Amino acid sequence: MTHVEDIFPKLIPKQCEICKSTTNLSRCGGCLAYFYCNRSHQLAGRQEHKDTCNTVKKARQTVQEEEQKLRQSQPNAFDTWLGSFWTVRETRPYMQAKMMLSETLIRTYHRQGIDDALANFLDMLRLSRSDNRGIRLIAGPLFLRVGQDQECYDFLKWWAIKSNDQNGYDWHDTSLPYLDIKDADVLEPIDVFLNDYAMVIPLVTLLLIKVRLLLEIQAVEKVREILQPHATPERIMKELDGLLLGNCLRRRVELVDNEEEHLNVLSAQIGSLLTAVGDANPHIIPMLLEPDLDELMGPPLPYTRGSKSEALLGLQYTYSAWCESAGAIQGLRNVIRTAIQDLRQSEQ
Ligand SMILES: [Zn+2]
Ligand SMILES: [Zn+2]
């Protein structure tokens, strides 16, 4: 059976568009998102690349033009309004141009495009701390698409804590720490993410972090079996080099130990997250498992909390990250199947 995830566009790594070489690459000077190993390969790819190249180039130029206009009308805009962009009307055309640039870069399905889109989104958040436009919802999954699971976790955790902050937080005070969580424990209890107001898109992004780590630790377990009795953490990591989806294990090699314990923790957390996701929006998990490609590629629709259109938007933001995580959707199917079996057994 073919699943939608099998036909969804694959992210193109940093390689020559023509011969797939990964050495001696130069970036395309127009879009800065494609690579070629030499001039003749750049010329050979020109015809096919022209439209995308021009679209991205134009989006980059518009950002520069809007920045110039803003600086002309308000020379100190980037100091005076730092942190409060978008709430100040004059800054909106510039922010809109940046939004358009990231959206255009994401549609290239090229790794460099995703890197640049994420960097651009993070710059928008620096300028507009309260994130009136929901950029954090799109940026979260992009971290995973570039293998930065730890950064993604830190990012989601910061927003979860702030949305729970009863004392309030002055979004306009740029002397306050912002997005300053670093190297939080990705296996810690998930309570901080769970509350009545938890939004479904960050929850689905967190779910993917956990599923990716689950798959990685399962791989560690298998490699350990094969290598016994020579299975040191360093040796296991060497075998898994290039196969890992994210950077959590590489950052914390001490996790390559007691796999069974970590797997139990992760399975329980994935179960709780599935419940939380279902409470926030009952449509999204069924749609993630069997999405409608036309809906997925269609324009985002206005939505209300818990609605089918919110689920669709959530899927549009996160689906590529799920597809690019080899085995993740199947891994989720397996977890759900086991949970249903357990439930049936307990009912008998
Ligand atoms: Zn080449
Ligand atoms: Zn180009």
* pLDDT digits 0-9 by tens, 244-265: 999 999 999 999 999 999 999 9
Which ligand places an atom closest to the C-alpha of 32? 2
CA of 86 from ligand 2 middle (Å) equals 30
Tens digit of each residue's pLDDT (9 = 90 or more) over 301-338? 888 999 999 999 999 999 999 999 989 999 999 888 88
Q: Determine the pLDDT at residue 63.
A: 98
CA of 326 from ligand 2 middle (Å) equals 28
Tens digit of each residue's pLDDT (9 = 90 or more) over 214-249? 999 999 999 999 998 889 999 999 999 888 999 999
Radius of gyration over every alpha carbon of the chain, rounded to an integer in angstroms: 22
Residues within 5 Å of ion ligand 1 by Cβ?
16, 18-19, 21, 37, 41
Confidence label for 348 from pLDDT (cuts 50, 70 and 90): confident
CA of 101 from ligand 2 middle (Å) equals 14
Average pLDDT over all residues of the chain? 94
Which ligand places an atom closest to the C-alpha of 19? 1
- Assess whether pLDDT exceeds 90 at residue 347: no
Helix intervals (H) in the chain: 4-7, 39-73, 77-80, 92-106, 111-127, 135-145, 149-163, 200-227, 233-240, 248-251, 259-280, 284-289, 293-297, 308-324, 328-347
CA of 241 from ligand 1 middle (Å) equals 25
Q: Determine the pLDDT at residue 1.
A: 62
What's the N-to-C CA distance of the chain in angstroms?
A: 32
CA of 213 from ligand 2 middle (Å) equals 35
Tens digit of each residue's pLDDT (9 = 90 or more) over 59-114? 999 999 999 999 999 999 999 999 999 999 999 999 999 999 999 999 999 999 99
Q: Determine the pLDDT at residue 293.
A: 87
What pTM, to 2 d.p., does this model score? 0.95
Residues within 5 Å of ion ligand 2 by Cβ?
28, 30-31, 34, 53
